[in-house]
Amino acid sequence: MNIDRKHVAVIGAGVTGLTAADTLAGWGARVSLVEKTPFLGGHAIQLNCKATDACVKCGACVAEDKLLSATRHPHVDVYTGTQIETISGQRPYQITYRIHSPLVNADQCDGCGICFETCPVSGAISQGHAPHGGPYVAIRRDLCRYFQDAACTECQDACPQGAIGLSSQAQAGTMQADAILVTTGFTPYDPSDKSYGYGQFLNVITSLDAERLLREHTVMKRPSDGRPAGRIAFIQCVGSRDARLGHPWCSKICCGSSLRMARLIQSRQEDAQITCFYIDVQTFGKDFQPVYRSIRDNIAMVRAIPGDILRTATDELEVIYFDPQSHASKESLFDIVVLSVGLLPAEDNGPLARILGWAPHESGFLPHHGSERHPAPEGIFTAGAATGPMTIAESVSSAEESVYDMVRFLTAS
């Protein structure tokens, strides 16, 4: 099999895209790795290591490895802040894109973090990996207020290095590809519509918010006042297994993530009291039973999903639920409530599928390129969570499997 001088575009640089890009480059192809946000690594790279005494095999560190390999490979060209606009209908595919130039000048930025502290929108400015030593502080256009009404320029004004330029132009470009791999990943469910107070009560956060919190402070602190959080509740299946919402699927990773996070928090905060509200605990890891048992013995597992959350005068959260033990309605107070939000299809799946003249599943996830009922157009491949919720380990496997199909296809074409 020989794919030297073949050009491949990988759309989406999460753990699946990074794995695929590295593998394809290893086989000799020239890879354009296209990512719409300023950062590589997708969601996996935002996860914390959940090890206490030993590795708990969440796979988060694998994302770091794949990122390093892919970005170091000479055959991989990385495009961040790049949105795909059109893809021509025939092979070799002509892809037009728009690169949003970085809003933070890498040469001037010294990582002081003042912008990060000044920004009124949580998550709009983030620190993370950037390709080839580019800016590691970046502003997300989809969250930043400036891009909604040009009103807020706090970060730009506050930056002591003058490294921020909010009004920068986008550049257009084209590339050619003999094959395209779509690895657009997932979009986390936004629980603002649920009666949990997300978006109004500062101490109600999503699982991804919790990851960011832990990464920054290493312990759980209440967002409202920065005090250590003692009583923490995890609510599972928020946005998943919900036919009414149109999400009749299990998001697979949330039970494992939450239980591991609970265990990590307890190892760092001795007085933490954790409650987990669940429907069914999903399996994770090879040797599930003993690990699960040890976690279960130390946290309160309540087999009920709460109905409402109210906020007290002291910013505590009153969680109301039907207690299966006493068979009656109950209220419990917590310092923080973590909503384990589900994995929804990536927002880009619909537009991309339309560009490609291909229909996504009813669910919004993309079919596997080899699907019998919805085969992809020739030369188009899919992998990873873009096709359905997946763990990091499964994403890596999915990438390798799709690369195998691509290498054969490119060799034959």
> Is 171 among the residues that bind other proteins (CB under 8 A)?
no
| CA pair distance 19, 31, nearest whole angstrom | 12
Question: What is the DSSP code (8-state) at residue 119?
Answer: -
- Note whether 184 and 349 are within 8 A (CB): yes
Angle at 251 between CA 207 and CA 277, to 5 degrees: 55
- Pattern 112-151, other proteins, x by CB under 8 A: xx-------------xxx------x---------------
Positions in 259-288 near other proteins (CB under 8 A) = 279-283, 285-288
Three-state DSSP at 204 gives strand
| CA pair distance 338, 170, nearest whole angstrom | 37
Angle at 118 between CA 117 and CA 123, to 5 degrees: 65
Minimum distance from residue 376 beta carbon to other proteins (Å): 16
> Is 91 among the residues that bind other proteins (CB under 8 A)?
no
Candidate ranges 163-171, 201-209, 344-352, 403-411; the one touching other proteins (CB under 8 A):
403-411
CB closer to other proteins, 217 vs 354: 217
Figure out which of the listed residues 75, 241, 330, 374 binds other proteins, where binding follows CB under 8 A: 241
| CA pair distance 138, 39, nearest whole angstrom | 8
- E strands within 132-196? 137-139, 170-177, 179-182, 186-188
Positions in 303-322 near other proteins (CB under 8 A) = 303
Q: How many residues does the chain have?
A: 413
> Is 62 among the residues that bind other proteins (CB under 8 A)?
yes
Show the DSSP H helices in 96-204 as ranges.
Answer: 114-118, 146-149, 154-158
Residues in a beta bridge with 181: 10, 381
CB closer to other proteins, 96 vs 282: 282
Minimum distance from residue 388 beta carbon to other proteins (Å): 5
CB closer to other proteins, 71 vs 83: 71
| CA pair distance 403, 385, nearest whole angstrom | 15
CB closer to other proteins, 68 vs 172: 68
Q: Which residues bind other proteins (CB under 8 A)?
A: 1-2, 23, 26-27, 45, 47-49, 51, 53-55, 57, 59-65, 68, 110-113, 127-129, 136, 215-216, 218, 241, 243, 248-250, 252, 255, 279-283, 285-289, 292, 303, 324, 327, 388, 392-393, 396-398, 400-401, 403-405, 407, 411
